[in-house]
Amino acid sequence: MTAPDRAVRAYLDHLAVERGMSGHTVAAYRRDLNRYLEHLAEAGVSDVDQVTTEQVASFAVRLSQGSPARAEQPARPPLAASSVARAVVAVRSLHKFLLAEGDTGADPAAQVQPPSQAKRLPKAIGVEQVQAILDVPDTTTPAGLRDALLLELLYGTGARISELCSLDVDDVSGLLDDPDQEQGLRLIGKGDKERIVPVGSFARSAIAAWLTRGRPVLADKARTATPALLLNSRGARLSRQSAWNILTAAAETAGVPHLSPHTLRHSFATHMLDGGADVRVVQELLGHASVTTTQLYTLVTVDRLREAYLVAHPRAR
């Protein structure tokens, strides 16, 4: 194992153990840094102190332009600007860590900036399309009751799929004992940031139906008891991938293909703003650290207003 390999392993251990990053995040860093190690190896770098700013910059260029097939490596297609930016951030973080640990005397990546990315507007679907998706589950079956609850919570609260899959029964049981609907749902988002979101009557009804008529049936199939709210067909906690499959299957049945995992979340935010909600309120409901992220949704609603104006106003054209 070379010195750069050992440096990357130490950094990944730091992310997982000391910073407590999720396995998914650490795996993403590992993929990007493995590409970086290949780049350094081809440049003949055997020690982290040998890395230059030019080599870090050329790594970013290589990812952006792709690389042809070599002796034992297939051709690599160019990466999107967002993927290049993520990889550059990983490399910058690695060298910053090595400098702080005293493993290097300089930071060759400090002056290398991630490529700027085009501002992408979140994709949302219409209320009618959302309703069509929510109408898909067969609520006469335990699995259908679970699917109905998952979809209702995704759209009704703006939660991420991973946040809902991590919920336990105790997280929602108090909602059913709150006739005035003053109690909200506690979600744990990115960076273990906690937020409380309101839960409407449709979601509450879906929770009650699942807990009384659906979950007990699937829970009986489990080898060991689990506190998880959402269960798979074997009675274990529903995984994020399985939840995503439920959403995509419902969307295809409803005639709404090509959804992203966040489509209902984006639709929640867009429909809230269309209905007159303040952007700061939507920021809190989504758990965005910065209002700048939430303000992307306001661009979507402005586009809709412009389209409506062009269609409806006699002097718009």
Give the active site residue among 92, 204, 262, 271.
262
In whole angstroms, what is the distance from residue 61 CA to residue 248 CA?
35
The reply to whether 160 belongs to the active site is yes
Give the active site residue among 39, 95, 215, 265.
265
The reply to whether 271 belongs to the active site is no
The tokens describing 150, both together, are 């998952």
The reply to whether 190 belongs to the active site is yes
The reply to whether 221 belongs to the active site is no
In whole angstroms, what is the distance from residue 107 CA to residue 52 CA?
9
In whole angstroms, what is the distance from residue 107 CA to residue 119 CA?
30
The reply to whether 262 belongs to the active site is yes
DSSP line for 91-148: HHHHHHHHHHTTS-SS-TTTT-PPPP-PPPPPP---HHHHHHHHT-S-TTSHHHHHHH
Give the active site residue among 160, 195, 204, 215.
160
The reply to whether 29 belongs to the active site is no
Give the active site residue among 6, 190, 280, 306.
190
Among candidates 150, 251, 282, which has minimal Cα distance to 203?
Answer: 150
- Identify whether the C-beta of residue 112 lies closer than 8 Å to the C-beta of residue 92: yes
Give the active site residue among 62, 146, 215, 288.
288
**C-alpha distances in Å from residue 191, one per residue of 21, 63, 249:** 8, 28, 30
In whole angstroms, what is the distance from residue 249 CA to residue 151 CA?
11
* Residues with active-site annotation: 160, 190, 262, 265, 288, 297
